[in-house]
Amino acid sequence: MEFLKDLWGFFRERKKWWLMPLIVLLLLIGLLLLATGNTVLAPFIYALF
């Protein structure tokens, strides 16, 4: 929660809303990585990026 609050605060202060989709996407990938223990998705993610 604190992280999301800080992230929202960052967007409000910097007003770089266009970065939001990119950061959210990266965050989702990060969460997926965490959820799968960094192994199953890792090759897919490296290939994607």
Interface residues toward other proteins, by CB under 8 A: 2-3, 6-7, 10, 14, 16, 19, 22-23, 26-27, 29-30, 33-34, 38, 45-46, 49
Q: Where are the alpha helices (DSSP H) in the chain?
A: 2-14, 20-35, 42-48
Query: Is residue 34 within 8 Å of residue 42, measured between CB atoms?
Result: no
Question: Smallest gap, in angstroms, from Cβ of residue 35 to other proteins?
Answer: 13
Question: Smallest gap, in angstroms, from Cβ of residue 23 to other proteins?
Answer: 7
Judged by beta carbon, residue 10 or residue 40, the one nearer other proteins is: 10
d(CA 17, CA 4): 15
